[in-house]
A and B are shown apart, each in its own frame.
Chain A
């Protein structure tokens, strides 16, 4: 047991020392709304920023957050070219309901399904909503958990900076 603790600590410290400040996306198989397998390594946006937001049908604040993004999406895209990807962590009880729900909501952005939480785990997401902002090179430069009214303004400020090539890690 002690050995394992030592090893883990060593791994952690060693890792922290060598780790870069920003991480990139892991290679995980998720599903599209049509049920096709999609690898998260393929997420890209031609050098422009990306917002990845984890949500679920049972999560009220998540749906509010995505509604707020949807209301602003056209403007945001025009100004920064940002792409939003909403990752549903709904499991088998409701994965088939996500597609008709998203259509009913008239959300304009891409939605992916992560029914067994593989992508969620690989991204160290504890609770939803959890939102990531990626820069043009696909590196994670900002993340935030939970949603309160008005957070979308903050998120967009950061997206603007990222689009302009500013360094946003370590701020806020």
Chain B
């Protein structure tokens, strides 16, 4: 029976395709795939012994994503396999299947999607589903979405569904059902008299609710939890302001340790931008805003909303040693950034000009007081705490000062200089209980020399100096590239300042890669230090490892 159905399906699709080719000729297919494979070796200095590996020498993550379009109709799927997942990825991912299947039909002012989809309302404070392959993160909604644009400048969205939780299927009384609505209006588009105004205003609002049955034996939990958000974006000439506020009714969960306090979040950003100069400032406050479709889950999964970490994100090896992650139970802070381009042919700028960028960001805890006399702060089953909206807490989670200068000295030689100061609450963010804040100075020089029009060589010299945690580090990287196909690089990170001499290790790696249009192959051999990899606000712990890794990626 199954076979007959399969054959029939194939026949149907083929004939439909043939029909499409004959009469419409609009059918399009494209997609992408990637495989990441690791081979692990024992490394006694890293504490990885043969018995610890215990035969598990391979890690393998792969996906294939295909999109089919026929006029106003499109559909697609993604196949994923983790056999078993690479070290550092969530073990629950082990397995294979099709976690992402969807179809969308767009007609005039409407667009309908069924199956799995990704959506973001505003900044994501009320709802954001997304996928990040490098982290193994996917909280897609499985259900239905309608997008409606009745007139230009007015956009309405409705979503309904349940979220992906690795490979486990949705079951009644399991994780919650999510419903959401979002509306956004561009005043200058809708009111035609304002279309030429120098003042541009966009206003938006959203409401999201989660229904989950109460399975908790100790607390009476609300079955329905709602979250509301309002936002605007205001442009006045060279100035731009945007803000969003979101409010969540009480939602006791494992993340906030079952307190009954409502939560809220606020972001305000302002910028001034003119030719060669950009100034940016931002304020942020979060109070008890974790919102997941299962109250009992604490891991990086089933998030309905997104709380962006508003701290400079670093990518250089040593600068990325202490990455910040949003503290959903409470944080407040600000960020200031100036980008300036010293003009060409000026005294400082030289022939090519020079870029200067300065960023300062700070994130503190919020100030908390007892909610009432009989309960301690954060006590389960109570209102948790009271907090003054405008008062910073004493505890510093993260401070970061980054100064970057990039300068082109000649047609062949250019360089980036970077200084970073970090003050990092390793106890709160990485769970190293009892450890003092890490205060680190970091210096980076990145130089590129163009040997010919296609060949170039790049060096990075980096140093990280701190009295805390693992002490001082030095790092070097040399990379040789031949455009558009080849690269070879070697790098070493050396923990020379570790107070234990047996932990003064070299973390060396060698890589080479080949790119042909959109197909990329890369092979890396070496040691990976224990650390945290963060992309877009979600982080995963990566254990120390030694071995080979191969990545093949392609799209068409």
Instruction: Please judge, given known A-B contacts A34-B235, A150-B455, whether A143 and B28 are in contact too, CB under 8 Å.
Output: no
- Contact between A100 and B14 (Cβ–Cβ < 8 Å)? no
Contact of B271 among A29, A96, A144 (CB under 8 A): A96
- Contact between B66 and A8 (Cβ–Cβ < 8 Å)? yes
A residues less than 8 Å from B21 (CB atoms)? 17-18
Contact of B118 among A93, A116, A153 (CB under 8 A): A116
Contact of A11 among B18, B65, B66, B315 (CB under 8 A): B66
B556 interfacial contact with A, CB 8 Å: yes
Contact of A124 among B30, B448, B454 (CB under 8 A): B30
B residues less than 8 Å from A96 (CB atoms)? 242, 269, 271, 280, 282
Which listed segment binds A: B67-75, B206-214, B467-475?
B67-75
B483 interfacial contact with A, CB 8 Å: yes
Instruction: Please judge, given known A-B contacts A12-B29, A104-B339, whether A92 and B128 are in contact too, CB under 8 Å.
Output: yes
B165 nearest CB across to chain A (Å)? 19
A63 nearest CB across to chain B (Å)? 9
B48 interfacial contact with A, CB 8 Å: no
- Contact between A124 and B556 (Cβ–Cβ < 8 Å)? yes
B57 interfacial contact with A, CB 8 Å: no
B163 nearest CB across to chain A (Å)? 15
A residues less than 8 Å from B276 (CB atoms)? 103-104, 106
A78 interfacial contact with B, CB 8 Å: no
Instruction: Please judge, given known A-B contacts A29-B155, A91-B308, A150-B450, whether A16 and B29 are in contact too, CB under 8 Å.
Output: yes
Which listed segment binds B: A20-28, A45-53, A159-167?
A20-28
B residues less than 8 Å from A124 (CB atoms)? 30-32, 65, 67, 555-556
- Contact between A92 and B357 (Cβ–Cβ < 8 Å)? no
A residues less than 8 Å from B6 (CB atoms)? 2-3, 6-7, 10
Instruction: Please judge, given known A-B contacts A124-B32, A125-B32, A126-B32, whether A148 and B482 are in contact too, CB under 8 Å.
Output: yes
B297 interfacial contact with A, CB 8 Å: no
A residues less than 8 Å from B5 (CB atoms)? 3
Contact of B130 among A13, A91, A106, A130 (CB under 8 A): A91
Determine the distance from Cα of A19 to Cα of B482 in the docked complex, in whole angstroms: 33
Q: Which of B105-129 contact A (CB under 8 A)?
A: 106, 118-120, 123-124, 128
- Contact between A93 and B313 (Cβ–Cβ < 8 Å)? yes
A129 nearest CB across to chain B (Å)? 11
Contact of B128 among A34, A116, A149 (CB under 8 A): A116
- Contact between B120 and A115 (Cβ–Cβ < 8 Å)? yes
| Chain A residue nearest to B11 in the complex (CB) | A10
- Contact between A148 and B68 (Cβ–Cβ < 8 Å)? no
B residues less than 8 Å from A16 (CB atoms)? 29
| Chain A residue nearest to B96 in the complex (CB) | A1
Please, how many residues of chain B have a CB less than 8 angstroms from a CB on the other chain? 106
Cβ proximity bits B126-165 to A, threshold 8 Å, 1 near / 0 not: 0010110100000000000001000001010000000000
B492 interfacial contact with A, CB 8 Å: no
B53 interfacial contact with A, CB 8 Å: no
- Contact between A93 and B200 (Cβ–Cβ < 8 Å)? no
- Contact between A37 and B17 (Cβ–Cβ < 8 Å)? no
Determine the distance from Cα of A4 to Cα of B79 in the docked complex, in whole angstroms: 11
Determine the distance from Cα of A12 to Cα of B27 in the docked complex, in whole angstroms: 12
Determine the distance from Cα of A126 to Cα of B448 in the docked complex, in whole angstroms: 26
| Chain B residue nearest to A100 in the complex (CB) | B278
B240 interfacial contact with A, CB 8 Å: yes
B410 nearest CB across to chain A (Å)? 13
Determine the distance from Cα of A7 to Cα of B11 in the docked complex, in whole angstroms: 10
Instruction: Please judge, given known A-B contacts A26-B69, A149-B481, whether A10 and B313 are in contact too, CB under 8 Å.
Output: no
B274 interfacial contact with A, CB 8 Å: yes
Determine the distance from Cα of A29 to Cα of B31 in the docked complex, in whole angstroms: 20
Contact of B483 among A19, A59, A154 (CB under 8 A): A154
B536 interfacial contact with A, CB 8 Å: yes
| Chain B residue nearest to A9 in the complex (CB) | B10
Cβ proximity bits B233-272 to A, threshold 8 Å, 1 near / 0 not: 1010000101000000000000000000000000001011
Determine the distance from Cα of A86 to Cα of B201 in the docked complex, in whole angstroms: 24
A residues less than 8 Å from B554 (CB atoms)? 126
Determine the distance from Cα of A58 to Cα of B279 in the docked complex, in whole angstroms: 18
B residues less than 8 Å from A91 (CB atoms)? 124, 130, 306, 308, 536-537
Determine the distance from Cα of A59 to Cα of B511 in the docked complex, in whole angstroms: 19
Determine the distance from Cα of A4 to Cα of B98 in the docked complex, in whole angstroms: 8
A56 nearest CB across to chain B (Å)? 9
Contact of B339 among A3, A24, A101, A153 (CB under 8 A): A101
B residues less than 8 Å from A18 (CB atoms)? 17-18, 20-21, 27, 29
| Chain A residue nearest to B487 in the complex (CB) | A148
A residues less than 8 Å from B124 (CB atoms)? 91-92, 116
Determine the distance from Cα of A11 to Cα of B280 in the docked complex, in whole angstroms: 48
A residues less than 8 Å from B543 (CB atoms)? none
Cβ proximity bits A41-75 to B, threshold 8 Å, 1 near / 0 not: 00000000000000001111000000000000000
Cβ proximity bits A100-124 to B, threshold 8 Å, 1 near / 0 not: 1111111000000001111001111
Known contacts A96-B271, A97-B337, A143-B517; 18 further A-B pairs (Cβ under 8 A) = A6-B6, A15-B27, A29-B147, A29-B155, A35-B200, A36-B189, A60-B315, A92-B123, A92-B537, A99-B273, A103-B276, A103-B277, A104-B278, A117-B118, A124-B31, A124-B556, A144-B484, A144-B518
Which are the 9 A-B pairs with shortest beta-carbon distances? A104-B339, A100-B278, A15-B29, A103-B273, A35-B233, A93-B308, A149-B456, A14-B17, A104-B278
A interface residues with partner B (beta carbon < 8 Å): 1-4, 6-20, 23-24, 26-27, 29, 34-37, 57-60, 91-97, 99-106, 115-118, 121-127, 130, 142-146, 148-151, 153-154, 172
User: Could you pull out 22 A-B pairs where Cβ atoms are within 8 angstroms?
Assistant: A7-B6, A8-B98, A15-B27, A15-B29, A19-B28, A26-B69, A34-B200, A34-B235, A34-B240, A91-B308, A91-B537, A94-B313, A97-B337, A104-B339, A104-B357, A143-B555, A146-B515, A146-B520, A149-B450, A149-B455, A150-B484, A172-B484
